[in-house]
Structure 1
Amino acid sequence: MARDTLTRDRIVHAAVELLDTEGLEGLNMRALGKRLDSAATAVYWHVKNKDDLVVLATDHVWSRLTLPDPGASGWRAAAAAMATDLYGMFTRHPWLVQVLAAHVVSGEGKARHDEHSLAVYEAAGFAGPEADRAAAAVFTYVLGNAAGAAATASLTRRLGGGADADERFGRALAEAREIAARHPRLRARLETAAANGYAAAPDDTFAFGLRALLDGLERRAR
């Protein structure tokens, strides 16, 4: 692909696809150029460097989140919808968890999302710093729940494919289960139908925690 046929938008879309398959550590200009059928040097005509590209890709994904109107559905329904959508974004694009730990994330998409989040909690009755704290509490809860998906994706890439990787992963899980079985509550948890794997959480765990958190915020807003 010639340099003049490249656009920043095409590059960002390709970067998101590469990040989804290879993770943050797999993103580099050479791999991106190959995906775009272009020389890696041509990419630099549109983005400054890898860090710049990561921020652009992050904001592109963030800009696709929905922003429900708290006036139409009520603040709590809007807050739950935003949190669920955000959780879905993190689990679809687990590299975002790494990005938040290593980059200052900026851009219009994230700014619009953060602005709307504050408006939702202001609609609940929080004002000033309290609205900020409420939004941050929910965001942190979502991010913490998504960290497991990000860790699993990273581990899967690190182990690679094939029978050898499956065997090593199986041995690690077996050892974890053996240690957990020495503790009565963990042993009981492993014996339930909900525990399909050592790290598996019961169904509806995210929704349960979100409801509990919003219950607390609702009481505090009153």
Structure 2
Amino acid sequence: MSLTQPVRPPRRRAPRNSLNPDRILDAAVTLLDRDGAEAFTMRGLAQQLGVGTMAVYSHFRGKDEISDAVAQRLLDTIELPPGGSDDPRSELREVCVGVYRLFTEHPSALELLAGRPQRGDDAIALIDRMLGLLRRAGLGRADAAHTHVALMQYIVGSALWNTRRARALCEEGARDRVRARIAGLPSGAYPALVELAPELLCAQSEGTGQFEYGLDGLLRGLLGGSPQV
């Protein structure tokens, strides 16, 4: 071996008999949030844990089973309001905000649940709760179904937009480049954008506040006066 060749330190291995499903799922959440669902592999998870790949297989049959378990674990972290309130609209709003926060705090949940929305009892229970609240808010059968889909599309789209934008703006100087680009636009060609640039940049940086602003407008429009059938 060449004396100039760098020597890799030995991989730290987990203590014997320390591996368990909870530890595997913790590592999977970390790996998924950091690298994304496309980069998630059993080998990568084993390296994250410091064990051999077959040690992971002794607890889970494969990547899909781990992904489903991660999705269920993350759904359990949603801060949901107590059920049975006298104000189903406010309760529905809290549910929507809770789902949005989960998706933005754990991008892996966004990828896992958006691609496999009806996997697991917790996901099904969440859908059932939202539909029930929409019915209690006065929507008919078809309107409740369409409104549920519209709300989930808004939640997923907002979370995806905000997480990707946050990653892009983490690059050094990215925010300054955006501001400089807008400031350099000719007002004659883009009058509305130039005029409202400060307000637009402020709105784009509000994160959850901007999401809630749009959610409130969406709920007002979708829950307005539909008779229950």
TM-score bracket, normalised by the shorter chain, equals 0.7 to 0.9
**1:19, distance to aligned residue in structure 2 (A):** 1.7
Aligned to 1:166: 172
Aligned to 1:57: 70
Change (3 A) 1:104 1:71: closer
**1:212, distance to aligned residue in structure 2 (A):** 1.4
Change (3 A) 1:32 1:49: same
Q: How does 1:2-17 map to 2 (within 5 A)?
A: 5-17=18-30
**1:72, distance to aligned residue in structure 2 (A):** 2.0
Structure index of larger Rg? 2
Q: TM-score, normalised by structure 1?
A: 0.77
In 2, the alpha carbon distance for the partners of 1:93 and 1:180 equals 39
From 2, 15, 23, the counterpart of 2:36: 23
**1:135, distance to aligned residue in structure 2 (A):** 1.6
In 2, the alpha carbon distance for the partners of 1:174 and 1:215 equals 33
Q: Does 1:206 align with 2:211?
A: yes
Aligned to 2:226: 221
Task: Specify the SS of the correspondent of 1:81.
Answer: helix
Aligned to 2:106: 93
Aligned amino acid, residue 213 of structure 1: L
Task: Specify the SS of the correspondent of 1:204.
Answer: helix
Aligned amino acid, residue 127 of structure 2: D
Task: Specify the SS of the correspondent of 2:119.
Answer: coil
From 184, 189, 194, the counterpart of 1:187: 194
Task: Specify the SS of the correspondent of 1:87.
Answer: helix
Change (3 A) 1:180 1:134: farther
| Equivalent residue pairs, number | 212
From 144, 151, 156, the counterpart of 2:164: 151
Q: Does the CA-based 8 Å contact 1:70-1:120 persist in structure 2?
A: no
Change (3 A) 1:75 1:106: same
Change (3 A) 1:23 1:176: farther
In 1, the alpha carbon distance for the partners of 2:34 and 2:156 equals 20
Please list every run of 5 or more consecutive structure 2 residues that lacks an aligned counterpart in the other structure: 1-13
CA RMSD of aligned residues (A): 3.2
Q: Does the CA-based 8 Å contact 1:67-1:116 persist in structure 2?
A: no
Task: Specify the SS of the correspondent of 1:60.
Answer: helix
Aligned amino acid, residue 183 of structure 1: Y
Please list every run of 5 or more consecutive structure 1 residues that lacks an aligned counterpart in the other structure: none
In 2, the alpha carbon distance for the partners of 1:15 and 1:111 equals 22
Aligned amino acid, residue 49 of structure 1: G
Change (3 A) 1:42 1:154: farther
In 2, the alpha carbon distance for the partners of 1:20 and 1:201 equals 22
Change (3 A) 1:102 1:142: closer
Aligned amino acid, residue 105 of structure 2: R
Change (3 A) 1:86 1:176: farther
In 2, the alpha carbon distance for the partners of 1:21 and 1:56 equals 18
In 1, the alpha carbon distance for the partners of 2:166 and 2:41 equals 18
Bigger share in helix: 1
Q: Does the CA-based 8 Å contact 2:131-2:148 persist in structure 1?
A: yes
In 2, the alpha carbon distance for the partners of 1:154 and 1:47 equals 32
Change (3 A) 1:50 1:209: same
In 2, the alpha carbon distance for the partners of 1:105 and 1:138 equals 16
Q: Does the CA-based 8 Å contact 1:68-1:81 persist in structure 2?
A: yes
Higher mean C-alpha displacement, 45-54 vs 82-91 = 45-54
**1:89, distance to aligned residue in structure 2 (A):** 0.7
